[in-house]
Amino acid sequence: MSTSNAVPWGSAFRLKMADKWKAKSAAIGNAVTETLVEYSRPLLEMRVLDLASGTGEPGISLAQRVGPRGSVTAVDQSAELLEIAAERARDRNLLNFITQQADAHHLPFADGSFDLATCRFGVMFFSDANRALGELRRVLKPGSRACFAAWGPMEQPYWQTTMKIVHRYVGGPMLQPGASDLFRYAVAGSLSKALSTAGFHEIEESSRNLPWSWPGGADGDAEDVFDYVCAVAAPFRPMLERVRAEDWPAIRAEAKAAIEHYRVGDEIRFGADVVLASGKA
């Protein structure tokens, strides 16, 4: 795989891209973050657990809502991404935002430690969903809610203009069988079923179409979107590594043209189909 035309890989590159585009990454997901925060109904003084926090959202927004006598513990497997999250919290003078490197399948917290849990685009990646959701239920106080946002179907503009185009060139599986699947809970009721199996009750689920817009205005915006998706959408890495070096220029040109169809003024407005679900411990 030639890095002259292709996307280089490795954790160092992904972290570099996360840092390069952290402002636009936060902006593109802002509506989903705000929706999940409102959906979770945080209250002052709550102790909140945010799973798969990555670079900090919705944990940072929740920390602002629960006040200085509340707290948010942001959990992720990547210490490097959590450091970006901690830096963002420090920039906002949030002293109630705590980071903790941990695996969702083995949470290092006592039973009944939290009043609320959130997980934005992370539940799809639990290798053993029943174990991870069971751990989450364990660390919640009885009757407390766990609230999730997950990707809806692959058939939506953000993915069709990027990974779907790559797939037309390489064929084979788009996602490796048995590996992480972004669209694991796209089918209505599937996330509710997983929550029920893990012992949650009073389960709710709905689908929303939310803004998903890349800010900017420069001619390179569409190319930046494509590079960003390639860099951070790790489950597609095996497919991307199958691209022949000579095919990258055509893929980039086709993706750029497809993405530009969604330009409105200075923004590229895709929209996002998202699944929201919650259950009580």
The pLDDT confidence band at residue 55, using thresholds 50, 70 and 90, is confident
pLDDT of 219 > 90? The answer is no
The CA–CA distances, whole Å, from 133 to 68, 130, 203, 211 equal: 28, 5, 13, 28
Q: What is the pLDDT of residue 178?
A: 78
Q: Where are the domains of the chain?
A: 11-280
Query: What is the mean predicted confidence (pLDDT) over 245-270?
Result: 94
Encoded tokens for 227 = 């590079």
Contact 251, 200 (CB under 8 A): no
Per residue in 126-159, pLDDT tens? 999 999 999 999 999 999 999 999 999 999 999 9
pTM, 2 dp: 0.89
Whether 75 contacts 53, CB under 8 Å? yes
Dihedral sign of CA atoms 232, 234, 239, 242 in order: positive
Q: In the chain, pLDDT over 90 holds for what percent of residues?
A: 77
**Rounded-to-integer distance, Cα 226 and Cα 71, Å:** 36
Q: How confident is the model at residue 20 (pLDDT cuts 50, 70, 90)?
A: low
pLDDT tops 80 at residue 91: yes
One of 3.40.50.150, 1.20.120.1200, 3.20.20.70, 3.40.50.2000 is the CATH number of 11-280, namely: 3.40.50.150
- Residue 5 has what pLDDT? 43
